[in-house]
Chains A and B, each alone.
Chain A
Amino acid sequence: MPRSLEQYLRPGLKGTTFCPGCGHGILLHAVVRAVHELGLDRRELLFVSGIGCAAWIPSPHILADTLHTLHGRAVAYATGAKLANPKLTVIVVSGDGDLVSIGGNHLIHAARRGLDLTVICANNEIYGMTGGQAGPTTPRGAASATTPGGNPYGPFDLVRLVLGAGAAYVARFPVTQPRPLTDAIKRAIRTPFFSFVEVASPCPTQFGRRNRLEDVGALYDRIRDLSISRDEAFGRSAAELRDRIVVGEWTPEDLLLAGGGRVPGAPAC
């Protein structure tokens, strides 16, 4: 991370807790850069996280107010803090298991309410900290500590889930595309309603090791190669897009184009 951004890191820390090859360090950089480029007042920044590797991205690393909460509950804590002090810029950074499995109910209800929260979900497709168990985003067939014969179930499509629940802005980018990722985080923070950024972030220690992707380079190549832009994906069949990471940005109007849904905040006609 360049010197100009070190002012956002908490002094006295000796490195991060992330494993070698983990994508979360890149995401930490993207978050800090987004905050820097937006010129936000650090005193009014609040980072909220849950439990898991990704919950450590803001806490303790970022020098701002941080609230490291219970497993799954980050969005509910963030809701209370934002309502009690609307001047705060509240950014939730946590993992896929935390936000979408144990915290799934809080996530969809926060999206429905449309409060001005930004949720950044680091998706590594597995429970990292607890030892590599399957999560709600683990691909069908993937090996994990709890699916030794391959995951029999399919993953959530987080973009569709959160957009369907009422989010005003949703984006998905992998850590292999740091510039578009940073721009998406900036747009999410600027969005004055509920916004959500899913970040594909590889986990060599748990997902890679269990799925014959021990080589960190190969793991990053996989994420890069699976990624396909919205425009490229348009018109392709479901079979063609299976397991692909469709990247880009979405707004509620996309639901209307798809033939369903009501734009949150718009009067029903």
Chain B
Amino acid sequence: MAAGCGFYAGYPITPSSEIMEGMAELLPKAGGAFIQMEDEIASISAVIGASWAGAKAMTATSGPGFSLMMEGLGYAVFTETPCVIIDIQRAGPCTGQATRVGSGDIMQSKWGMHGDVEIVALSPWSVQEMYDLTIRAFNLAERLRLPVFLLADEAVGHLHETAEFHDRFETEQRVRGTDGTPFGSAEPGGVPPMPRFGDGANLLVTGSTHDDRGFRRVEEAEAHARLVGRLRRKVLDRRDELVDVERHELDDAEVAVVAYGFTARGALAAVRELRGRGKKVGLLRLRTLWPFPEREVAALDGKVRAVFVPEMNHGQVAGEVRKCFRGELRSYGQTDGEVIGVETMVAELERMV
């Protein structure tokens, strides 16, 4: 709400329902609109409709609901609709363990939609970052006209700790405009201004391949290649401003941990414990997961001998790390519905240093 969110649509699902209940209470008082929809497909649909009607819009969900949202998210990417999706990841697959933790949706957020898409996904590790990165997610969604994901996990989602609400921060205002080409840009990675319903722009919004005015171009190879290409470059050309990592004790490290989300908290504790024993270990924390911080991981190549990637899935991020790091890589996947213990990570790292 600090970021200017004016619309929430959702469907109850553990462990994300607290966000929905909070919005049900607070949003109408602030002049926004809240609605509980009949399922997650309807929720993301209503979010997209509201976004085109001019509202900064969001939803929150978890595993099974995230799966149901995939078709609408593809529509949001293709129609360049700003929206924010908070996924409080739980132990999957399927219904899995609804109250238990997991982080198995990393690949789904990028590859769960059919076709080739580029999206932005952020990974908070604290209550403070749930706040800070939600604001950032809204700003990026509005600036780039795309869905932005907050890939939290159940452990962060249910964490109780102090956080500071800021008095001053920047919020992005959508660039509106009715120049007649709401779906085209002269630049290969450009973001066109976005009129809203009621502005008199006679909008043609469609999930089919379209030209810069919105007219369907469903059989022209060049039109499809140009649109898909721009939607990819819109994200990839801005990777430097999107990618956000945090480095701990890496300067002289021989072994680096690459971690994200709640797991990175334990990883930092493990690194500190081993440093106390004189072991040269460090941590690269990924606060952006998509676009993947390839250069930042590749920068470890030649600097550290080995990389350790602990995850509450079986190597979803380790696979991406493998693509850009040529040294020894140890992937540790744990999917028992529990967070990865500090002692587990210490033991794994001790075998490497």
> B49 near A80 (CB under 8 angstroms)?
yes
Interface size on B, residues (CB 8 A): 42
Within 8 A of A (CB), among B1-43: 6-7, 9, 33, 35, 37-39, 41-43
Stretch touching chain B among A61-69, A149-157, A189-197:
A61-69
Pairwise interchain contact B50-A81, C-beta atoms closer than 8 A = yes
Q: Is the CB of B72 within 8 A of A73?
A: yes
Is the CB–CB distance between A109 and B38 below 8 Å?
yes
Are B49 and A76 closer than 8 Å at their CB atoms?
yes
Select B46's contact among A68, A83, A85, A88, beta carbons within 8 Å.
Answer: A83
Whether A80 and B50, one on each chain, are in contact in the complex, defined by CB atoms closer than 8 angstroms, is yes
Q: Are A65 and B45 in contact (CB under 8 A)?
A: no
Q: Is B204 an interface residue (CB 8 A)?
A: yes
Give the shortest distance, in Å, between B88 (CB) and chain A (any CB): 22
Residues from chain B with Cβ under 8 Å of A242 in the complex: none
Q: Is the CB of A46 within 8 A of B50?
A: no
Per-residue interface assignment for chain A, residues 173 to 194, with 1 indicating a CB less than 8 Å from any chain B CB and 0 otherwise: 0000000000000000000000
Please tell me if B205 contacts chain A, counting CB pairs below 8 Å.
yes
Closest to A11 in B: B202
CA distance A185 to B37 in the complex (A): 26
Within the assembled complex, what's the spacing in Å between the Cα atoms of A87 and B33?
14
Tell which of A70, A81, A83, A85 touches B72, judged by Cβ atoms closer than 8 Å. A70
For the complex, is A101 an interface residue (Cβ under 8 Å from B)?
Answer: no
CB distance from A146 to the nearest CB of B (A): 22
Complex contacts, B204 vs chain A, CB 8 Å? 10, 59-60, 66, 68
Q: Is the interface of A mostly helix, strand, loop or mixed?
A: mixed
With contacts A64-B202, A65-B198, A70-B75 taken as known, whether A84 is within 8 angstroms of B42 at the C-beta atoms is no
Which B residues lie within 8 Å of A87 (CB)? 198
Do residues B206 and A84 form an inter-chain contact, with CB atoms below 8 A? no
Looking at A43, A60, A69, A80, the one whose CB has the most chain B CB atoms below 10 A away is A80
Measured CA separation A87–B200 after assembly (Å): 13
> Which chain A positions have C-beta within 8 A of B203?
65-67
Decide yes or no whether B340 CB sits under 8 A from chain A.
no
**Residues of chain B within 8 A of A66, CB atoms compared:** 202-205
> In the complex, A87 Cα to B53 Cα: how many Å?
10
A59, A65, A82, A106: residue with the most chain B Cβ atoms closer than 10 Å? A65
**Among the listed B37, B38, B45, B200, which residue makes an inter-chain contact with A69, where contact means beta carbons less than 8 Å apart?**
B45
Q: What is the CA–CA distance of A7 and B200 in the complex, to the nearest angstrom?
A: 14
- Select which of B53, B207, B215 is within 8 A of A60 by beta carbon: B215
Q: Flag whether A44 is at the interface (Cβ < 8 A).
A: yes
Whether the pair B49, A77 counts as a contact (CB closer than 8 A) is yes
Given A80-B57, A83-B7, A88-B198, CB of A109 within 8 Å of CB of B42: yes
Q: Which residues of B contact A83 (CB under 8 A)?
A: 7, 33, 35, 46, 50
Q: Does A79 contact B (CB under 8 A)?
A: yes
Q: How far is the CA of A81 from the CA of B196 in the complex (A)?
A: 10
Judge if A78 is at the interface, Cβ distance under 8 Å: yes
Q: How far apart are the CA atoms of A81 and B205 in the complex, in Å?
A: 13
Instruction: Name, among A64, A83, A84, A105, the residue most crowded by chain B CB atoms within 10 Å (CB to CB).
Output: A84
B199 to chain A, nearest CB (A): 8
| 0 or 1 for each of A38-72: is its CB under 8 Å from B? (1 = yes) | 00000110101000000000011001111111100
Could you say which residues of chain A place their CB within 8 Å of the CB of B202? Answer: 10, 63-66
Contact status A43-B52, CB under 8 Å: no
Complex interface: chain A residues within 8 A of B82 (CB): none
Cβ-based interface call for B48 (8 A): yes
A105-B45 in contact (CB<8A): no
Distance of A7 Cα from B75 Cα, bound (Å)? 30
Q: How far is the CB of B42 from chain A (nearest CB, A)?
A: 4
Please give the distance in Å from B47's CB to the nearest CB on chain A: 6
Nearest-neighbor residue (CB-CB) of A43 within chain B: B200
Q: Say yes or no for B201: interface residue by CB 8 A criterion.
A: yes
- The answer to whether the Cβ of B54 comes within 8 Å of any Cβ in the partner chain is yes
Chain A residue at minimal CB-CB distance from B46: A80
Task: Identify which of A10, A44, A48 contacts B49 (C-beta below 8 A).
Answer: A48
Task: Give the distance to chain A from B59, nearest Cβ to Cβ, in Å.
Answer: 10
Query: B215: which A residues are within 8 A, CB to CB?
Result: 60
Compute how far the CA of A59 lies from the CA of B39 in the bound complex, rounded to whole angstroms: 26
Please report the C-alpha to C-alpha distance between residue A257 and residue B265 in the assembled complex, in whole angstroms. 65
A65 and B197 in contact, given A10-B202, A84-B7 (Cβ under 8 angstroms): yes
Are the CB atoms of A80 and B75 closer together than 8 Å?
no
Measured between beta carbons, the chain B residues less than 8 angstroms from A64 are 202
Q: Would A59 and B206 count as touching, CB distance under 8 A?
A: yes
Q: Which residue of B lies closest to A74 (CB)?
A: B45
Which 10 A-B pairs rank lowest in CB-CB distance, beginning with the nearest?
Answer: A80-B46, A80-B49, A76-B45, A84-B50, A84-B53, A77-B49, A80-B50, A81-B49, A76-B42, A84-B55
Query: Would you give 21 A-B contacts (Cβ < 8 Å), ordered by A?
Result: A64-B202, A65-B197, A66-B202, A67-B205, A68-B206, A69-B75, A70-B72, A70-B75, A76-B37, A77-B45, A77-B48, A79-B9, A80-B35, A80-B45, A80-B53, A81-B52, A84-B49, A88-B53, A106-B38, A109-B38, A109-B42
Other A-B contacts than A82-B49, A109-B37, 19 sampled, CB-CB below 8 A, are A65-B197, A67-B52, A68-B208, A70-B45, A77-B46, A77-B49, A79-B9, A80-B47, A81-B53, A81-B197, A83-B7, A84-B7, A84-B49, A84-B50, A84-B54, A84-B55, A85-B53, A105-B38, A106-B38
